[in-house]
A and B are shown apart, each in its own frame.
Chain A
Amino acid sequence: AQSVSQHNHHVILSEAASLELGCNYSYGGTVNLFWYVQYPGQHLQLLLKYFSGDPLVKGIKGFEAEFIKSKFSFNLRKPSVQWSDTAEYFCAVGYSGGGADGLTFGKGTHLIIQP
């Protein structure tokens, strides 16, 4: 079965610090990669996605992620975080043609930004 691993369950940073959240997935052929974010009290929403092309993708609110195929990784980055980035971040993988599995999600990383 496919799996997604997020290395950090809780991250605490100060404002203006740089952020990198790790995500690795199990091999399963062609993949599509996603980061979703859940702000306190709000619904899950898409932050960015990778389907093909440039492995460095940019999303909303200054976030970016890099797909490294050889490492089965899709790490999320932001050069300078803000207090409003406090949220739960989920990495997810969709496997093309691999059946009807929807998306496989990681456990999430709870990010707290201290002012």
Chain B
Amino acid sequence: ETGVTQTPRHLVMGMTNKKSLKCEQHLGHNAMYWYKQSAKKPLELMFVYSLEERVENNSVPSRFSPECPNSSHLFLHLHTLQPEDSALYLCASSQEPSTSGANVLTFGAGSRLTVL
């Protein structure tokens, strides 16, 4: 256990479904992140919440919608996804605000998403 817990670990959904990924950190960190990990591609930063405010969304399609109700919880709401959205979605947290550039990330185990 890393102190960052993601659920569910595996999710299969159809293109018309609505689902959510959940992330919880028990480290008292100030920033939380969603990354997308696809084969043969760099980790793609999707969203950053630093001190509970969203600071970047990196032009992610609107079918992905983040929510950060407090500093310990982060959600990624999914709707009308495409098969190319199938990937491992990683949540991470850091003690430092994301703008410092010195943010050591602690990752969760990831949620493996398959879109049929």
Contacts and interface: CB of A to CB of B under 8 A. Distances in A.
A45 B106 CA distance: 7
Contacts of A98: 101
Contact of A103 (B50, B55, B103, B106): B103
A49 B101 CA distance: 12
B61 interface: no
B43 A105 contact: yes
Contact of B107 (A9, A44, A99): A44
A104 B56 CA distance: 13
B98 interface: yes
A92 B109 CA distance: 18
Interface of A: 4, 9, 30-32, 34, 36, 42-46, 49, 51, 90, 92, 94-108
A105 B48 contact: no
Nearest to A1: B58
Nearest to B6: A43
Contacts of A92: 43
Nearest to B103: A94
B56 A45 contact: no
Contacts of B104: 34, 46, 49
Given A45-B2, A102-B56, A97 B90 contact: no
A2 to B, nearest CB: 10
Given A9-B40, A107-B40, A102 B102 contact: no
Contact of B105 (A31, A101, A103): A103
Contacts of B98: 100-102
Interface in B90-104: 90, 92, 98-104
B101 A32 contact: yes
A32 to B, nearest CB: 5
B45 to A, nearest CB: 5
